[in-house]
Amino acid sequence: MNADKPLAGLKIIELGTLIAGPFAARICAEFGADVIKVESPDGGDPLRKWRKIYEGTSLWWFVQARNKKSLTLDLKQAAGQRILRELLADADILIENFRPGTLEKWGLDWDALHQLNPRLVMVRLSGFGQTGPMKDQPGFGAVGESMGGLRYITGFEDRPPVRTGISIGDSIAALWGVIGALMALRHRDAGSGEGQMVDVALYEAVFAMMESMVPEYDVIGYVRERSGNIMPGITPSSIHTCSDGKAVQIGANGDAIFKRFMYAIGRSDLAEDASLADNAGRDERRDELYTAIDKWVESQTQDQVLNVLADADVPASRIFSVADMFCDPQFLAREMFTQGTLPDGKPFKMPGIIPKLSATPGSTEWVGPALGEHTDAVLSKLGYTPEHIQDLRQRKVI
């Protein structure tokens, strides 16, 4: 790892599987933390076999586990639990996303770990958190998105709720987990000297993103419903279809931007209409405005629409597929693709790393490792001899 990275020197133990926990640890690994991913010897993280497979391994795995070390441990055996405690004795962060109660069953609850290592920060990601009547229930991102309010408002008003195309609830929870961990480290290192537990529930992570939903309901009884492609209460901001069948997203909800937009599409009457000078007025006449915009957009090709709006300084975009991204000048200029090498030597592209730090940027040092690739090295560093490691392997502890 590059010693100049901002998280260099931090030791993180990851007990996560699939998305939320591993994504949180991945972010830390990209910025220099020494992340040791503990996996079951019996197949490891199920993500290794999710989505599109190349030569027996998920392509997603090579990205999600980049810069991590893979250590196999059977945590159901006392010997595996003992090794984990040795790892945690000088660790900075533990990231886990087991169902609540799993670590407690193995004697690895927060109180025990805090006594073992008072400086440890423990990040716990779960469906419903570590407390409450639902804490013992299983919960994936899809459930968190449903309970947290996102699914209810996603889709068209005359159809059932729909999902986004990714497991966004897990990813949002992972981001909150990283934020919480860094805040806990700041508190520890600024003077308290002690770590703390960071409790992230998937449904709460999604709920926290629901903008003005809570006060609008509490104060005026407004329940936000599905509204298709428009942004309710913010006008105009929607997706429109061009004459060639391609779609564009137009966001012209700023007061000055709206006026420029109307002039650009030949509607100076709307640009100069005083009742449309602010968002409240525009939202009252939403249907009229969207009818006018649709009429103009459907008379132009996508390229024509984007060129006109670029000249008018109006925010707009085509709806990008991944194929569009691969050849887009902005993506390329910002280095949003980084090159990796698969185990058989085949080069492949991975997402670039964000955020972009000017002095200490993150990077990819290696792609997701083979199962148990670093087991011997990690155990040797703990003082285990080759003979002891071989004994553990024979007993299927590793």
Would you say 293 and 236 are in contact if contact means Cβ atoms under 8 Å apart? yes
| Pairing, β 11-14 against β 93-96 | parallel
In sequence order, what are the residues at sequence separation of 6 or more whose Cβ sits closer than 8 angstroms to the Cβ of residue 8? Answer: 1, 2, 32, 33
Structure tokens at 223: 């329940």
Total Cβ atoms within 10 A of residue 50 = 15
Q: Which of 6, 3, 2 is nearest to 359 (CA)?
A: 6
Q: How far apart are CA 301 and CA 103, in angstroms?
A: 58
With vertex at residue 126, the alpha carbon angle to CA 44 and CA 119, rounded to the nearest 5 degrees, is 85
Catalytic residues: 170
- Give the tokens for residue 53: 């497979």
Q: For residue 156, give Cα distances in angstroms to 153, 159, 214, 241.
A: 9, 5, 21, 16
CA distance 393 to 353: 36
Long-range contacts of 44-50 (CB under 8 A, 24+ apart): 44/70, 44/72, 44/371, 44/372, 45/16, 45/17, 45/18, 46/17, 46/18, 47/17, 47/18, 47/19, 47/22, 48/371, 50/18
Max intra-chain CA distance, the chain: 84
DSSP 274: G
Helices and strands, counts by H and E, the chain: 18, 13
HSE at residue 35, side-chain half, CA atoms within 13 A, is 30
> Which string of b and e fits 156-167 if b means at least 16 CB within 10 Å?
eeeeeeebeeeb
